[in-house]
């Protein structure tokens, strides 16, 4: 059976989702450039230049995702295991989103279980998009406040490792949106699909008026662990 995200209509939905994530970052870049032109704020220019660089890197990363997704559609590759440095990947993703996080006054905290190895074997593109989709969705539906991402060891059998990825947003104003279908952004459709591709699972819970997304993602241990 043809997978949903390989259908042209689904690809158009994916493209629309990527663009919806790009627009706030582009606006953040525009605001930063405008502020940098204000000579009365020269003392803060270096900080703004750093945020501008991160914003541009974020835009570049979204376009990379679009190209990679297009390759999946045209080439339809099977899942390929490669080395993944999870802490490094998380750091790069959070850095690429720093401009929009600052613009919306959102604090992102990442909790990586110290019992987990830094480098694991997995499907790099799908794992990266799962993380990107979860974070982008949380940022999109959080007006301000805190987003927390947790990665913990769920289960291990020989060289098979199951990691639980939990993300919850604690931003003000999420309660009303959490009770609508819009709270489940388009990107999460593909998060679910990619998880199914690699044998993972996805569920959505509501706790104290906050949304909690839980993913179980399978990995392989490397021979060095």
Ordered by start, the domain boundaries in the chain are 4-220
Is a pLDDT exceeding 80 seen at residue 193? yes
Of 200, 191, 215, 190, the closest CA to residue 5 belongs to: 190
Most confident of 42-51, 74-83, 151-160: 151-160
Which carries the bigger pLDDT value, residue 11 or residue 5?
11
Is a pLDDT exceeding 90 seen at residue 157? yes
Q: N- to C-terminal Cα distance for the chain?
A: 37
Per DSSP, the three-state class of 45 is helix
**In the predicted model, what is the mean pLDDT of residues 205-224?**
84
Which carries the bigger pLDDT value, residue 58 or residue 82?
82
Q: What was the pLDDT predicted at 217?
A: 97
* Residue 127 banded pLDDT, cuts 50, 70, 90: very high
CATH architecture, domain 4-220: 2-Layer Sandwich (3.30)
The answer to whether 55 and 74 are in contact (CB under 8 A) is no
Q: What was the pLDDT predicted at 149?
A: 96
Is a pLDDT exceeding 90 seen at residue 167? yes
Rounded Cα distance between 20 and 4, Å, is 20
**In the predicted model, what is the mean pLDDT of residues 112-119?**
94
The tokens for 165 are 């990825």
Residues ≥6 apart with Cβ < 8 Å to 34: none
Is a pLDDT exceeding 50 seen at residue 206? yes
For helices 186-197 and 124-140, angle between their N-to-C axes, nearest 10 degrees: 150
Per DSSP, the three-state class of 121 is strand
Task: Give 48's DSSP letter.
Answer: H
For helices 8-36 and 124-140, angle between their N-to-C axes, nearest 10 degrees: 60
The answer to whether 179 and 172 are in contact (CB under 8 A) is no
| Phi and psi, residue 117, nearest 5° | -70, 155
Give the number of other CB atoms < 10 A from CB of residue 32.
23
Q: What was the pLDDT predicted at 179?
A: 46
The tokens for 141 are 């539906």
Q: What is the pLDDT of residues 16-47, one digit of tens each?
A: 666 666 666 676 676 766 666 555 555 566 66
Rounded Cα distance between 126 and 105, Å, is 29
**In the predicted model, what is the mean pLDDT of residues 43-56?**
68
Mean pLDDT of the chain, nearest integer? 77
Bridge partner list, 150:
111, 166
């Amino acid at each position: 059976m043809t997978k949903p995200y390989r259908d042209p209509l689904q690809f158009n939905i994916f493209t629309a989702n990527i663009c919806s994530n790009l627009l706030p970052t582009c606006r953040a870049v525009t605001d930063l450039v405008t502020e940098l032109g204000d000579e009365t704020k020269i003392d803060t220019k270096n900080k703004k230049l750093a945020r501008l660089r991160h914003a541009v890197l974020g835009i570049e990363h979204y376009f990379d995702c679009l190209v990679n997704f297009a390759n999946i559609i045209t080439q339809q590759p099977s899942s390929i295991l490669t080395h993944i440095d999870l802490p490094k990947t998380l750091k790069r993703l959070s850095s690429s989103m720093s401009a929009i996080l600052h613009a919306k006054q959102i604090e992102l905290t990442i909790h990586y279980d110290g019992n987990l190895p830094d480098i694991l074997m997995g499907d790099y593109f799908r794992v990266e998009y799962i993380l990107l989709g979860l974070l982008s969705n949380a940022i999109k539906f959080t007006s301000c406040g805190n987003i927390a991402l947790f990665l913990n060891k769920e289960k291990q059998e020989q060289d098979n490792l199951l990691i639980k990825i939990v993300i919850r947003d604690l931003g003000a104003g999420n309660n009303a949106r959490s009770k609508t279908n819009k709270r489940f952004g388009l990107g999460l459709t593909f998060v679910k699909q990619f998880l199914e591709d690699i044998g993972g699972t996805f569920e959505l819970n509501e706790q104290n008026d906050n949304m909690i997304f839980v993913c179980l993602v399978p990995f392989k241990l490397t021979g060095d662990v």
